[in-house]
Amino acid sequence: MKMELRNSKIEFRVDNQTDSQTMHVSGYVNRTGEWSEVLGNTTKFVERIAPGAFARALQNATNDIDFLAEHNDQLILASTRNNSLQLKEDDTGLYMEATIAPTSWGKDYYQLISDGILRNMSFGFVALKDSWDVREDGVYERTIEDLELVEVSVVKNPAYSQSTIAARGIDVVEDVKIPSEFLENKEKEERMTNSMIKINENADAKEFEKILRGESRSLNTTADGGALIPENVANEIVLKMENISPVFAQARKFTSITGNLKVARENDSIVAGFVGEGNDVIEGQLGLEFVELQQKRVGAAITITNQLINDSAVSITDYVQNLLARRVAKAVEKAILTGNGNEEFKGIINDAEVATVNVSGAVTLDDLQSLYLGIHPDFLDQASFIMEREFFNQIAKMKDNMGHYYLQNGVVNGVVTHTLFGLPVYTTDALPETTPVVFGNITEAYAVLIKQDMGLQEIQDSGLALKGSKMFLLDAYMDGAVVNPQAIVKLTVNAG
């Protein structure tokens, strides 16, 4: 059985009882009929539970439903088995009342609930019947009409511990698939196939053919007879790169056709203040600097035999796009973080105005707190940690005095997620051991110029033709630089 997990940012309450020994909590697990935030990994959708679905699930339930801590079935707080957990659906949604068992962990979690540290609800379910629609913006709408309710949980953040999911012994749905019969609707299928490319088996071997809405159109050709992927496919490659590299995905992007681009670099030279009647307002010197983004070539290539192309059961173009996008995304990510500013981008750790937290010896929690406090508070909302992989492995083992890990591991909507101090943590192979962490709001801190002539080319010169092969080349002209040093900080580690 595969289970889906959903969070609800609906606070529940601790009920004051005449019996002070009773640990009683109550609240709503889910409000029926209300759309969720955008979910999904490969397919973006919003979701709602239809009114009546929970009521039918409770009526038809054949197994006990437990109230758990953080989806861990080893930490049962209450259960329908002994009526310490009561669930019902009313006009608002799924309502729960629970009397927490006075176990050691029950007392601990009740205290965390009372203190407001754990305040949100989540539930695990198996969808039995759902229906789909699609919005004008291409985001799908899923209505769950019938479900099997597996459990309800109290959670701190919208994330789920990997260890607790593993302990459960139940496969968790990684991504919801839209029914094929729904996709067969032509109007909706057009939205899905707008960027699909595949080899046209009837076309000349030297050219790709793209199929859009059932109409074949030849690609533009280069001077050497190769085929060039058009702009909308270049945009899809950028999207693929964003999926592969969170660092690139968060960077602010500018597009340009010709020439270089100047981007303002912020500073603190403008001062505001209160002044008396008749006095002059404080005049600040406009000290904005400008970062000039130029054209720097980045690319990757792969050679594929004609035999593989002819025998392949999948679209070679899709395969090539994914493979080359992965390689280019990693190269761009490295340039954003560590670029030297010559042939590469101007990297974050090499920018002299980016603040530094210096550490000698082993990194402590206080050092990470200093990193957290190292950027302007205005930029904390969308901030994240970018960690070198080995350093991440060290931080993942750090515990508090209660034996709890500081780093939270989890899965949200089928995507593995890590958080520290409630903010996302991403790993990278690009950072060096001496500067293993960058923290901040990448969107505010870093800008990337993307020239619009990015292309995926098919090249077949005489040498390749004799070998029965073709080369596929993905190249782009980009540049990047820090545009707001206040929004980013780095940590350096000195040996000894």
Q: Does pLDDT of 441 surpass 70? A: yes
pLDDT at res. 279: 62
3-state secondary structure of 59: helix
Nearest Cα to 188, choosing from 304, 83, 43?
A: 43
pLDDT at res. 230: 47
pLDDT at res. 192: 41
191-197's contacts with Cβ under 8 Å and 24+ in sequence apart are 191/134, 191/138, 194/232, 195/232, 195/233, 195/235, 195/236, 196/315, 196/318, 197/229, 197/233, 197/315, 197/317, 197/318, 197/321
Question: And the tokens for 316?
Answer: 């070679």
How large is the average pLDDT for residues 429-435? 92
Share of the chain above pLDDT 90, in %: 24
Alpha carbon 201 to its chain centroid, in Å, reads 36
- In which band, very low, low, confident or very high, does the pLDDT at 13 lie, cut at 50, 70 and 90? low
Q: Which stretch of 105-114, 299-308, 479-488 has the lowest confidence by average pLDDT? A: 299-308
How large is the average pLDDT for residues 453-477? 74
Asked if residues 110 and 25 have their Cβ atoms less than 8 Å apart, the reply is yes
Asked if residues 95 and 27 have their Cβ atoms less than 8 Å apart, the reply is yes
Instruction: Give start and end residues of each alpha helix (H) in 437-491.
Output: 442-445, 462-467
The CATH number fitting domain 229-496, selected from 3.50.50.60, 3.20.20.150, 3.30.565.10, 3.30.2400.10 = 3.30.2400.10
169: alpha, beta or left, given left = phi > 0 and alpha = psi -120 to 50? left
Q: Does pLDDT of 109 surpass 70? A: yes
**Mean pLDDT, all residues of the chain:** 75
**C-alpha torsion sign, points 198, 203, 206, 209:** negative
Whole-model pTM: value is 0.51
Find the distance separating the first CA and the last CA of the chain, reported in whole Å.
Answer: 51
Q: What is the pLDDT of residues 18-70, one digit of tens each?
A: 455 788 988 888 888 888 878 776 678 888 999 999 999 999 888 899 999 88
Question: Per-domain residue ranges for the chain?
Answer: 2-176, 229-496
